[in-house]
Amino acid sequence: MNSDMSAKNATADAVGVAADAAPSGELRSEAAVSPDASLMTAVESGGGLAGLARRIVKVQSFQILLVLVAISVVFSLLAPDTFPTWGNLRLVIQNVSILAVLGIGMTYVIITSGIDLSIGSVLVFSGVIAAKVMQSMGGDGWGTAIVGILVSIVCGILWGLLNGALIAKAKVPPLIVTLGTLSGALGLAQVITGGVDIREVPAVLSTNIGYGNIPGTTIPTISVIALVFLVIFGVVLHKTRYGLYTYAVGSNEESARRVGVKVDRHLITIYALSGFMAGVAGILSLAQYSTTAIAGQSNTSLAVIAAVVIGGTSLFGGIGTIFGTVVGLFIPAILQNGFVITGVQPFWQQVAIGAVLIVAVYIDQRRRAAASRANKTGKRSLAHLFRRSA
C-alpha cells in the first residue's frame, strides 16, 4: 500500500502543480486547509493583525462583499424609509432563495472548469413532471406533496447523470452537452403540457413553503430551506475529501487522475449534484409561484452563472466558494430592488451586472497571471495536498 502511494506521489511530483499559486494554491487554501487555520497561519508567520487584514482584503469574495455593502449603503441613503427595512430585505432574501439552491450545483460544476447551461430547463421539466404526478394523484395534503418532491428531485438527478455521462465518458464538451439538454428538457416540458402552465399545486406546498414563515417569526421558510442546503454543501465543499477532489479536478484534471482520483466518476456525480439542486429548485418554484412557469426561466442559467463568477469562482476551474456565490447572488438582487425603489429603470440592472461580471473575470485573470509568474520560482506536487488532508 505504501509503495502504491509512493508511486502515485512520484507521478504527481513529475507532473508538478504549484502550491502557492492559483489554481492549486487556491485549492490548498480553500479545500485542504480550513479558512480559520489559514488565517491563523498568516498571523503566526509574521505581520500580526496587519498581515491578517491584508490577507483577508485580497480574498475576492471579501472584495465582492464590500461591493455589496457599498451598494446597500447607497440605496439606504437614497431611500432611507423604504430600502433598509426588514420587509424589503425579506423580499430580497425570498427572491434569491431559489437561485441560491441552483448556485450550489453551479459552483461545484464551475470549480471543475465545467459549465451547466441546462439548470433552468431542468428546473422547468422537473416541476412539470412533479405537477403532472400530483395532479393525477389529487389531494392537497403532504402525501401528494412528498411524492411530487421526490419525483422532481429524481427528474433533476437523471438529467444531471445524462450530462455527466456525456461529458465524462463520451468526452463531449460541457458547453455543448448542457446546451443540448437545455433545449431537450424545455422542449419535453412543452410537449408534455402543450405549452400551457399547470396551475394545480397542493395547498400545503404554497402555504407552508412558498409563502410560509418559520413558526413564530417572519423568516421565509423557503429561504431557510435554501440556507440549510448552502450550509450542508458548503461544508462538503470546504471540509471533506469530496470537496478536495472537486478542487483537484478543476485545478489540474490530469494530475488529479494520476494521484488516484476517479475523475470520470467524480464529474458524473458533480453534474448529478447540479441536477439534484435543479430538481429541488423545481419544487420550490412550484411552491412559490403555484405554477410551472414554463416561459419564466429562460434567463435563469445565465443569471446563476453570472452570480457564481461574480462571487469569485473561476471559470478556469480550481477556485471558488459557496460564500462567494451567495454574495454574488445578492448583488443583482439588491440592484434590481434598489432601482425599483428609487425609480431608476430596472434595465440599468443588466448594464451594472454586465460591468461587474467583466471586472470579476478581469480580476481573476490578473490573479492567475500573477500566480503563473510566482509558479516559476517554486513548485509543489498535487500529491502534497492529499497527504496534508489525510
The structural domains of the chain, ordered by start, are: 60-389 (1.10.3470)
In this structure, what is the dihedral angle of CA atoms 365, 334, 96, 328, given to the nearest 10 degrees? 10
Look-up of cell digits 427572491? 95
DSSP 3-state assignment of 385?
Answer: helix
Look-up of cell digits 446546451? 179
Whole-Å CA distances, 352 to 42, 91, 315, 333, 373: 35, 21, 20, 12, 32
The whole-angstrom separation of Cα 259 and Cα 45 is 30
What's the predicted TM-score (pTM) here?
A: 0.82
- Tens digit of pLDDT per residue, the chain (390 long)? 444 444 444 334 333 343 333 333 334 433 433 344 444 444 444 456 666 566 665 666 778 888 899 999 999 999 999 999 999 999 999 999 999 999 999 999 999 999 999 999 999 999 999 999 999 988 788 999 999 999 999 999 999 999 999 999 999 999 999 999 999 999 999 999 998 888 888 989 988 998 889 998 999 999 999 999 999 999 999 999 999 999 999 999 999 999 999 999 999 999 999 999 999 999 999 999 988 888 878 788 988 999 999 888 988 888 999 999 999 999 889 988 898 898 887 778 778 878 877 877 787 777 777 766 666 555 555 555 555 444
